[in-house]
Amino acid sequence: MWYLIYILVFLLSLLLSLLLTPLMRRVATSFKVLDYPNERKVHQNPKPLLGGVAIYLSFLFTILIGIFLTRTGLIRFLPSSIQSYLPGIKNVLLKLSIILIGGGIILCFGLIDDLMGLRPRFKLSGQVAIGICLFLVGIRITLFIPNLLLSGIITVLWLVAIINSFNLLDNMDGLSVGVAAIASFLFFLIASSKGELFISTILAVSLGSLLGFLWYNFHPAKIFMGEAGSSFIGYLLATVAILGTYYQKGSPTFLPVIGPLLILGLPIFDMAGVVVIRIRKRKPIFQADKNHLSHRLVNLGMSQRGAVLFIYLVAFSLGLGALLLGNLSLLGGLLVLLQALTIITIVVLLEITGRKAKK
């Protein structure tokens, strides 16, 4: 019966996102919070930012409304089978509060960068600080490693990597938020199948917020989410991935723990490719350019919309295998990994062949 809650919070966050996004668009236009075209960007006209604020607020308001209904007793009108889970909500309020506060701080850093520009080292410092705070309150990656220092380093690196991978991926209409929606959906399927109500509910709220914004952000975009939005969705997915349980006692292998790498494989692949290209060209790693996977696909002849849809399919194909890892033998799990590597190889070969054909 908890699926009724998933549906309700999804629809509420979707509705809020659909309403708040055009509101933020008008605010951004009125106060000239715009993303202006330049040689490193694909849009031709100034676009309003602050879409990330709409995503965060729709996520935040949905959570707060749920907490309010729970604390005031108004939720007693729901079936008794749902009400039996309510006492457990109190046990997760601390972690939920930390996630919301951390997301708000990440959003503020992004807003400052959107409005005035922020040096990369300051952004990284803020992300590292948030990662340390998450670790200290118990949101951490263990990987069966008893060493707390090593666990802390891995947790912080994971958070910083995923935040920046979605920052880098936000280079074409609907790309970053669409991939984030696919990842949220796949994480939701895993969490709900394991009965992780807290994580599944967060992901249902996240999915509604993302899809509501995507309605306005898909090509041709009416609004951008900016650094604030891409940082927040990267932070949220990185955090939810840490909270999830992938290996359970009795599982055939330990391979399910790499599920998040598959689900977030596309942003990681794009970030790695961009970093390698910039190093080879001896350019600063944090200097924006048009060397992302989406740009390279457009250079091969795809339209912007076609390139984004192609990347959606690759992201979904890579992440799909993560749903099976918990039920497969070692051989089956290795075949899933081989399949993921094959998909990446096909994309690379497509690029190489396309470049040769153009030459």
Determine whether 233 is exposed, middle or buried from the number of CB atoms within 10 Å of its CB (0-12, 13-18, 19+): buried
291 pLDDT more than 60: yes
Q: What is the pLDDT of residue 4?
A: 85
Q: Tokens at residue 73, please?
A: 């007793």
**Per-residue pLDDT reduced to its tens digit, 95-154:** 888 899 999 999 999 999 988 888 888 889 999 999 999 999 889 888 777 788 999 999
Spatial separation of the C-alpha atoms in residues 23 and 15, rounded to whole Å? 13
> Strand 34-35 and strand 47-48: pairing?
antiparallel
**Per-residue pLDDT reduced to its tens digit, 309-358:** 999 999 999 999 999 888 888 899 999 999 999 999 999 998 888 777 76
Q: What is the CA radius of gyration of the chain?
A: 20
Domain span at 181: 3-358
87 pLDDT more than 70: no
The verdict on whether omega for the bond into residue 260 sits within 30 degrees of 0, i.e. cis, is no
Q: What is the pLDDT of residue 184?
A: 97
Q: What is the pLDDT of residue 281?
A: 83
Work out the angle between the directed axes of helices 120-136 and 226-243 (0-180°, nearest 10). 30
pTM to 2 decimal places: 0.94
| 290 or 191, greater pLDDT | 191
* Number of separate domains in the chain: 1
Spatial separation of the C-alpha atoms in residues 3 and 354, rounded to whole Å? 45
Three-state DSSP string of 88-140: HHHHHHHHHHHHHHHHHHHHHHHHHHHHHCCCHHHHHHHHHHHHHHHHHCCCC
| 218 or 146, greater pLDDT | 218
6 pLDDT more than 70: yes
Q: Tokens at residue 269, please?
A: 């692949």
- Catalogue the E-assigned strands of the chain: 34-35, 47-48
Residue type at 236 in one-letter notation: L
Share of the chain above pLDDT 70, in %: 91
Spatial separation of the C-alpha atoms in residues 359 and 351, rounded to whole Å? 12
What confidence category does residue 2 fall into, taking pLDDT thresholds of 50, 70 and 90? confident
| 26 or 197, greater pLDDT | 26
Residue type at 34 in one-letter notation: L
Work out the angle between the directed axes of helices 197-217 and 175-193 (0-180°, nearest 10). 160
**Per-residue pLDDT reduced to its tens digit, 8-45:** 999 999 999 999 999 999 999 999 888 887 666 666 67
